[in-house]
Amino acid sequence: MSDLGQYTPGPASGAQVRKNEGEKWTLILVRELRHSPEQVWQALTDPAQLREWAPFEVDGSLGRVGTVNLTWAGAPGAIETRVTRADAPKVLEYGDTRWELEAFGGGTRLTLWHNIDRRFIAWGAAGWHISFDVLDRSLSGAPIGRIAGGDAMKFAGWQRLVAEYGKQFGIKPPRWAPKAAQDS
């Protein structure tokens, strides 16, 4: 594992939101990775690889249609989640999440659509931003370890990203958000 103390996330970028009816909005994040769609697909679907970078764990492969139990970092229990589409290595859909992988410049353009409560959209963007950084480093053979849940919220880089994404999206974080996020 690399030294986490040397990791600082880049500025908030590659994200947009779609304001849906009601409380759920769609967060859309795009990241270009230096790894093939096949490598990225494995990291998105294999439970062992997901434990290295994702903000959740699953008890089975996400690479085939069916049901798995998904546990978000810091959550008290698992949520039964249905994989509704698994077209390797192009499209993966489960729960409120959709991934698209496109070969791009010798690597992969990875696009995530995640439906999330509008009050937490900046938190989600910051968390996924960091998860994508961790994913990229893990696939490059320089893992820094998963930064998710409560650990992410204590991380100064996450707090800065929450403020930056909140400003980009034109939203204020909840009043009980970490101080750095409230200062946006």
User: Is residue 162 included in any domain, yes or no?
Assistant: yes
**Would the pTM count as exceeding 0.85?**
yes
Q: Which residues contact 25 (CB under 8 A, 6 or more apart)?
A: 17, 18, 19, 115, 116, 117, 118, 121
How many domains are contained in the chain?
1
112, 94 Cβ separation under 8 angstroms: no
- Alpha-carbon torsion (100, 81, 52, 125), positive or negative: positive
Please, what is the end-to-end C-alpha distance for the chain in angstroms?
A: 33
Judge whether 78 lies within some domain. yes
Name residue 175's amino acid.
R
Q: What is the pLDDT of residue 22?
A: 82
For residues 123 and 139, give the distance between their C-alpha atoms in angstroms, rounded to a whole number: 24
CB 110 within 8 Å of CB 41: no
Q: What is the CATH number of the domain that holds 125?
A: 3.30.530.20
Give residue-wise pLDDT tens across range 105-164.
999 999 999 999 988 999 999 999 999 999 999 999 999 999 999 888 888 889 899 999
Per-residue model confidence as pLDDT tens digits over 12-45: 999 999 988 888 999 999 999 999 999 999 999 9
Query: Could you tell me if residue 5 is inside a domain?
Result: no
Query: What pLDDT, on the 0 to 100 scale, is given for residue 144?
Result: 92
Nearest-angstrom CA–CA distance, 130 and 134: 6
54 three-state secondary structure:
coil
pLDDT of res. 184: 41
Per-position DSSP letters for 87-125, written without gaps between them: ETTTEEEETTEEEEEEEETTEEEEEEEEEEEGGGHHHHH
pLDDT at 169 over 50: yes
Q: Which domain holds residue 162?
A: 11-182
Question: Crossing angle of helices 121-139/37-45, nearest 10°?
Answer: 120
Report how far apart, in Å, the C-alpha atoms of 152 and of each of 54, 70, 109 are: 12, 19, 24
Q: Which of 43, 63, 40 is nearest to 51 (CA)?
A: 43
Q: Is residue 134 part of a domain?
A: yes
CB 61 within 8 A of CB 46: yes
Domain assignment present for 3: no
On whether residue 144 sits in a domain, the answer given is yes
67: confidence class by pLDDT, cuts 50, 70, 90: very high
pLDDT of residue 150: 87
Q: Is residue 2 part of a domain?
A: no
Instruction: Assess if residue 6 is contained within a domain.
Output: no
